[in-house]
Amino acid sequence: MPKSTETSMAAYTATFPFDRGPRHPIRPVHHSYDPVHTTSDPPKHDLFGFLATAAKDDPALHRSSFCLNPEDLGVSWQTFFPACRQSRQWREAEDAAQELTDRLFHAGDSCMSGFCKHWRDLAELLQLVETAVACTVYMYPRADVVRIRLLAQLHVVMWIHDDVPSIAECHQEELGEDRRSPTPARKSCHHRSSPICRLISTVLQDILHADPIIGFEVAAAALKWHRMSRAHRSKDQGNLRLTTLSDHLEAIIDDATTQVNLSMIRFAGSIHLTSQQGQDPILKDIVGLWAKHLAIVKDLFSYEKDCLGRKVNDSTVVNAIQVLQSELNVSLGTAKEVARNIQLDTEREMHGLYKEILDRRGTDSPEARYVRALVESLAGNVFHSSTAERNAMPLLGNSAKENEP
């Protein structure tokens, strides 16, 4: 694929114009970012081959997504995942996110001052929406067009709805509904709730309508996350202290955000697990490794962004790189290398456990399908983190517009 490269302040951060026309299937990618400066080739392996062979081995996944080879796109790819998947319905996901954003801005003028108070300008808000959409199209490749639209809207909501008052309270009645109901009835928010709250209620009800069982899990987890995130925000952030990496990861694995993400992965692939299947010890270990990998990659790629956020907002953010640097008493570069090694070790361990699931349950079992969906989401998260503008910009030192050729 032809591309032009503009060298940035960091040799391993660059911008690439990949868009070759309005109907090209690859979603435009403008940045390649690797936080660990390395000249080595990607690791050689034969792990997770299903990421690249869906056209032959997984027709359903092939219908909803296609394979991306990041190296062919000029994206640094230091991982054991041989490829990642991208939703074929990425334009529909963008349209759905844009529709929701437009409706949010027209939900009621009285809400707008509070809604936008944490964003310095419209461009910053739009960048956040773009990030939410990118996360959706790479992490949920099994979603059909209906579910990818809903997931895109929910991701937008999750990224910005902490500023919306009373959302958790207005959903208590509808979440008390029997989850076994095959077609959950639409219920209105309380009459005193804000227009924005009613709009978000519509998104959650659409998710319930698409899949009453897993949709309930998504809605309940999202609202639990909201309540806990608001409570966390209300605490004195200055009381946060660096911990060991084990403590840091344990807190993340137990965090409500993890349950939201897991329920969205099951929702995207329509993967129904019984309680007994969900309690399988090997599957639980894989889920723990999934959460660990997600956290390490997120913190590794967002470290510079987090540092900039601390300076701009005078806030305290605990990042795994920061924790490693303090715990091991090493330089920033070494801490990042340690994090990368943890990422790779986690991938190898996940592959070994996936083989055990295949031996015990079979290739087409719900457990095996779930593990593949978890791996697909992690590969998508690596690609998303590697190409996200908000991660690359602190190193580039300029706006995306200034850096594009």
pTM, whole model, 2 decimals? Answer: 0.84
Confidence at residue 7, expressed as pLDDT on a 0 to 100 scale: 34
Least confident of 184-198, 200-214, 343-357, 379-393: 184-198
Least confident of 101-105, 211-215, 218-222, 386-390: 101-105
Q: How confident is the model at residue 166 (pLDDT cuts 50, 70, 90)?
A: very low
Contact 219, 207 (CB under 8 A): yes
Contact 317, 309 (CB under 8 A): yes
Burial class (CB in 10 A: 0-12, 13-18, 19+), 310: middle
Confidence at residue 160, expressed as pLDDT on a 0 to 100 scale: 72
Burial class (CB in 10 A: 0-12, 13-18, 19+), 176: exposed
Residue 152 has pLDDT above 70, yes or no: yes
Domains of the chain: 49-173+194-234+241-395 (1.10.600.10)
Query: What is the 8-class DSSP label of residue 13?
Result: E
Average pLDDT, the chain: 79
Q: How confident is the model at residue 26 (pLDDT cuts 50, 70, 90)?
A: confident
Length of the chain: 405
Confidence at residue 91, expressed as pLDDT on a 0 to 100 scale: 93
Average pLDDT (254-274) is 94
pLDDT, one tens digit per residue, over 103-147 is 877 665 455 555 555 555 567 677 778 888 999 999 999 999 999
Return the top range by mean pLDDT from 123-137, 217-231, 345-359.
345-359
* Whole-number Å distance between alpha carbons of 279 and 245: 26
* Whole-number Å distance between alpha carbons of 9 and 392: 11
| β-strand partners of 7 | 14
Least confident of 121-125, 207-211, 259-263, 355-359: 121-125
Confidence at residue 183, expressed as pLDDT on a 0 to 100 scale: 43
Inter-axis angle of helices 320-328 and 332-361, nearest 10: 110
Confidence at residue 196, expressed as pLDDT on a 0 to 100 scale: 62
* Whole-number Å distance between alpha carbons of 122 and 149: 23
191 CB-near residues (< 8 Å, 6+ apart): none
Confidence at residue 165, expressed as pLDDT on a 0 to 100 scale: 42
Average pLDDT (224-228) is 78
pLDDT, one tens digit per residue, over 306-347 is 888 777 666 667 899 999 999 999 999 999 999 999 999 999
Contact 80, 45 (CB under 8 A): yes
The SS3 call for residue 87 is strand
Least confident of 111-120, 139-148, 164-173, 356-365: 164-173
Average pLDDT (292-319) is 84
Average pLDDT (275-303) is 95
Q: How confident is the model at residue 284 (pLDDT cuts 50, 70, 90)?
A: very high
Contact 252, 291 (CB under 8 A): yes
Residue 2 has pLDDT above 50, yes or no: no
Residue 277 has pLDDT above 60, yes or no: yes
Confidence at residue 364, expressed as pLDDT on a 0 to 100 scale: 93
Higher-scoring residue by pLDDT: 62, 268:
268
Least confident of 231-240, 287-296, 299-308: 231-240
* Whole-number Å distance between alpha carbons of 353 and 113: 49
Confidence at residue 242, expressed as pLDDT on a 0 to 100 scale: 59
pLDDT, one tens digit per residue, over 40-87 is 666 777 899 999 888 788 888 999 999 999 999 989 999 999 999 999
Average pLDDT (269-291) is 96
Q: Determine what percent of the chain is predicted with pLDDT higher than 70.
A: 71
* Whole-number Å distance between alpha carbons of 207 and 392: 33
268 CB-near residues (< 8 Å, 6+ apart): 140, 141, 142, 143, 147, 148, 151, 373
The SS3 call for residue 31 is strand
Q: Determine what percent of the chain is predicted with pLDDT higher than 90.
A: 48
The DSSP element (H or E) to which 7 belongs, if any, is: strand 6-7
Contact 371, 113 (CB under 8 A): no
- In 3D space, the residue among 385, 291, 347 whose CA is nearest the CA of residue 79 turns out to be 347
∠ CA 230-391-88, nearest 5°, is: 90
Confidence at residue 332, expressed as pLDDT on a 0 to 100 scale: 94
Confidence at residue 224, expressed as pLDDT on a 0 to 100 scale: 85
* Whole-number Å distance between alpha carbons of 248 and 256: 14
170 CB-near residues (< 8 Å, 6+ apart): 189, 190, 193, 197, 198, 201
Confidence at residue 20, expressed as pLDDT on a 0 to 100 scale: 39
